[in-house]
Structure 1
Amino acid sequence: MLERFTVDARGVVAGAVEHASRAGSPVVTEEHLLLALLDREGTKAAFALASLGVTARRGEVVEALAAARRRGGMSKADEDALAGLGISVEEIVARVEQAHGPGALSGAERGRAWASGRPSFTKGAKKVLEKSLRMAVARKRRSIGDEHLLLALTAMPGLAGEVLAEFGGTYGGVERMLGP
């Protein structure tokens, strides 16, 4: 499948591997793909993200990803719903971290690096790559571009898609920016 990736899409995948390596992660996650998409300039996905205002709020996106990891991957909507029931997720996180150390709920990313030391891809990241192929085929494209990776991230459930949506990068919005 990777042979069908455009230069821009391959750049996103390489950027995601770099983000994982810099973070000391043995695996590439959907979050790493999102961060790599936000790094790109002059591509279709970069245009869509900039037009929706997501690129300008990159720092906030990074903070939101870190906060969600600290909450054990719980979305902001889940936290708000629990707050409505009188449950403070922040208080629970603080207690767990007090007993088990900072970042105790973030959980170690599962998976092992290749023997070469390069990070492998999580199931979720692989699903994004697979979904990007389906997005390209549905649009009658022969190759998979970075815009298809972005569409796949916004279309799939998960932390990266939720954070994107929180900052205006919804599937519908991205689709409108990219056109048919």
Structure 2
Amino acid sequence: MFERFTSDARAVVRGAVEHSERVGSRSVGAEHLLLALLDREASRASFALAALGLAADRREPVRSALADARRRAGLSQAETDALAGLGIDVSDLVSRVEETHGVGAMSGGRKGGGWWAGRTVFSRDAKEVLERCLRIAVAHRDRRIGDEHLLLALTARPGVPSEVLADQGVTYETLSRVLYGAEGEGEGEAKAAS
């Protein structure tokens, strides 16, 4: 599949690996793909983000929200709210864990090497994003998979990246309109995203 990726899409995957390594994560997750997309300039995805009000100088709230979710062990705000409905205060839980084990203890960072040392492992959610971006490209009859397909795939599945982007007005529908016009709302596209 990677042979179909454009140079921008390949740069996003490499950037995601770098983000994952920088924070000591055991695997590359969907949030790392989003962080790498936010780093891009002069690509189709970066132009779409800018058109939706997330120009390069306005992306810090997204990065901050991703960092907050990471401290909550990757729980989305919807999951945090659901737990609150059951009487579980995630903020209190994070505070208690961090009080005992240090800041970021719930973020899943690795302590030293292990069987994964030196290997790039993609989490299930990152693999789903990569598979979905292929389906989205095929649905649009695009021959190559670009960083815009990665961005669309991130917004098409539930989770922290889509929630954080939606809070900034970036949804699958708005991106489709920016990238493909009225055609982006087609029936085949919705099937590719599901």
TM-score relative to the length of structure 1:
0.86
1:105 maps to a residue whose letter is M
Task: State the match for 2:125 in structure 1.
Answer: 124
Higher relative contact order (CA 8 A, sep 6+): 1
Structure 1 residues 58-107: Cα deviation after superposition (integer angstroms, max 9, x where no partner): 21111111111112222223444555777543223212322333223323
Q: Matches of 2:58 and 2:96 in 1, distance apart?
A: 30
Large movers: runs of 4+ above 6 Å: none
Task: State the match for 1:29 in structure 2.
Answer: 29
Q: Matches of 1:81 and 1:26 in 2, distance apart?
A: 27
8 Å CA contact 2:26, 2:108 repeated in 1: no
Q: Which moved more, 1:12-21 or 1:88-97?
A: 88-97
1:147 and 2:148 equivalent? yes
8 Å CA contact 2:84, 2:90 repeated in 1: yes
TM-score relative to the length of structure 2:
0.80
Q: Matches of 2:17 and 2:119 in 1, distance apart?
A: 8
Taking only aligned residues, the RMSD between alpha carbons, in angstroms, comes to: 2.3
Change (3 A) 1:155 1:84: same
Task: State the match for 2:58 in structure 1.
Answer: 57
Task: State the match for 1:94 in structure 2.
Answer: 95
Q: Which moved more, 1:3-12 or 1:91-100?
A: 91-100
Q: Matches of 2:78 and 2:145 in 1, distance apart?
A: 32
| Structure 1: gaps of 5 or more residues | none
Q: Matches of 2:175 and 2:72 in 1, distance apart?
A: 27
Identity %: 60
Shift of 1:125: 0.9
Residue pairs, 1:159-170, within 5 angstroms: 159-170=160-171
8 Å CA contact 1:37, 1:150 repeated in 2: yes
Number of corresponding residues: 177
Q: Matches of 2:90 and 2:62 in 1, distance apart?
A: 20
| Structure 2: gaps of 5 or more residues | 184-194
8 Å CA contact 2:129, 2:153 repeated in 1: yes
Task: State the match for 1:14 in structure 2.
Answer: 14
Change (3 A) 1:29 1:106: same
Task: State the match for 1:107 in structure 2.
Answer: 108
Q: Matches of 1:83 and 1:89 in 2, distance apart?
A: 7
2:134 maps to a residue whose letter is L
Q: Matches of 2:59 and 2:7 in 1, distance apart?
A: 23
